[in-house]
Amino acid sequence: MITMGVEEEYLLVDPVTGVPTPLVEDVRRTAGLGPLTERGEIQNELLQAQIEVATPVCSSLEEVGGHLLRLRHALTSAAEANGCRIAATGAAPLRGDGPVPVTPTPRYLRMEGEARQLVDEQLICGMHVHVGIPDRETGVAVLNRIRGRLPTLLAMSANSPLWDGRDTGFASWRTIVFGRWPVSGPPPSFDGFADYERRLDELVTSAVIADRGQVYWQARLSEQHPTIEVRCLDVQLRADDAVMFAGIVRAMVATAIAEEEAGTEPPRCAPELVQGATWYAARHGLNGALVDCEGRSGTSGDVLCSLLRPLAPALEEAGDARQVGALVHRLLREGTPADRQLRTLAEGGLPGLLDLITGATASD
């Protein structure tokens, strides 16, 4: 069974105003979080109003869901004990009057000095799915095969429609903010692992980026783990939606490995097409046409079917087909988390929105 793990980023916000609150160290010092921090399950992020959780290596979706619920509940309790809340939203709906302090590590302080405005606006939260790979050569082959499918995943995950108290017109504003870093967006295609390594080395030696950690492609090889890391997803309101994406991404990787072993020709996706499809997915979510990995435009339902159809054998083999299928049907019925945010804001105003984005972690 191919293993996987999930990382989720959350905002710490004031329970009344919804403004990001720099209380990450207080939350981490709260009693009961020591062991979690020691195992690397709770980590600081770039800004002091952000916090990240990481599950252990998991073999099943049940494990992923159990760990995410455990970590979400632990952080919810710790945040409430320190006068704030955990918000599971891809972008801060409100930002307050001044910038949030940077977490004072040498790397983050250097980033602040090089790109102050961009760092100030990194009040965004993603979800990363790690999937185990047999070797890095295979990993690069997987990247080449899944890159054209990332825009569809992004559209499904959209959960950041608001910024500075207004509707941005985008389902995933996080994607737009994050895409301003020099090495970001969809990954290019590579001529094998040696080519991947050479191009990353050139980015660092040319000083385009300071280190490999600033390779912010939406899918990449992890530098710390023997995994593919898919990073295009907004953080999810509900833990079970995060579980759905973990199952889909694992099936995508397993299918790509099987196709590579069978010698199937990988899809040829022009970089400008994948880039444009990514922008379009961030703009519309599932409320419009999507572009599939072959460059064809279709309804969101049709493109989702074209994404999931070849994954069926991998989902069945992993025992994930029924659970993932039910959650995808719910997504199509209810809309994306971005849709839910906008509906809630229209119906219940800011108080209703804050209850939605902070209540999800508590009620899961």
Q: How high is the pLDDT of residue 290?
A: 86
| Burial of 191 per CB tally in 10 Å (0-12, 13-18, 19+) | exposed
Band of pLDDT at residue 97, cut at 50, 70 and 90: confident
More confident residue, 178 or 293: 178
For the chain, give the percent of residues with pLDDT over 90.
86
- Which is nearest to 22 in space by CA: 120, 124, 101? 101
Band (pLDDT 50/70/90 cuts) for residue 362 is low
Tokens of 130: 């790690």
Q: What is the distance between the alpha carbons of residues 61 and 338, in angstroms, rounded to a whole number? A: 24
Contacts of 77 (CB under 8 A, 6+ apart): 30, 32
pLDDT surpassing 60 at residue 54 = yes
Residue 31 has pLDDT above 60, yes or no: no
Residue with tokens 């403004």: 19
Under 8 Å between Cβ of 66 and 56 = no
* pLDDT tens-digit map of 252-285: 999 999 999 999 998 888 999 999 999 999 999 9
Please compute the mean of the pLDDT values over residues 2-28 and round it to a whole number: 95
> Is residue 363 scored above 80 in pLDDT?
no
Ordered structural domains, the chain, with CATH: 4-355 (3.30.590.20)
What does the radius of gyration of the chain's CA atoms come to, in whole angstroms?
19
Question: From CA 155, how far away is CA 109, in angstroms rounded?
Answer: 33
Dihedral over Cα of 34, 40, 45, 51: its sign? negative
Region 82-92 average pLDDT: 97
In this predicted structure, what is the pLDDT of residue 32?
A: 62
Distance set, CA 285 to CA 139, 233, 364 (Å) = 28, 12, 24
Over residues 46-74, the mean pLDDT reads 96
pLDDT for 292? 76
In this prediction, residue 33 carries a pLDDT of: 56
Q: Where are the alpha helices (DSSP H) in 158-238?
A: 173-178, 193-205
pLDDT at 360 over 70: no
Own/partner pairs, 320-323, CB within 8 angstroms, 24+ separation? 320/61, 320/247, 320/250, 320/251, 323/61, 323/243, 323/244, 323/247
Q: How confident is the model at residue 37 (pLDDT cuts 50, 70, 90)?
A: low
- pLDDT tens column, 221-252: 999 999 999 999 999 999 999 999 999 999 99
pLDDT tens digits for range 136-151: 999 999 999 999 999 9
Which pLDDT score is estimated for 1? Answer: 82
pLDDT tens digits, one per residue of 57-67: 999 999 999 99
Lowest mean pLDDT across 199-203, 289-293, 298-302: 289-293
Give residue-wise pLDDT tens across range 295-351.
778 888 888 988 999 999 999 999 999 999 999 999 999 999 999 999 999 999 999
Q: What is the DSSP string of 86-113?
A: EE--SB-S---SSPPPBP--HHHHHHHH
Higher pLDDT, 115 or 294: 115
C-alpha distances in Å from residue 333, one per residue of 160, 301, 337: 19, 11, 12
pTM: 0.95
Alpha helix segments (H runs only) across the chain: 24-29, 34-38, 61-81, 106-114, 116-120, 136-146, 150-157, 173-178, 193-205, 239-262, 271-284, 300-308, 312-318, 321-334, 337-363
Residue count (the chain): 364
Do residues 209 and 113 touch, judged by C-beta distance below 8 A?
A: no
Per-residue exposure over 140-165, b if at least 16 CB sit within 10 Å of its own CB, e if not: bbbbbbbbbbbbbbbbbbbbbbbbee
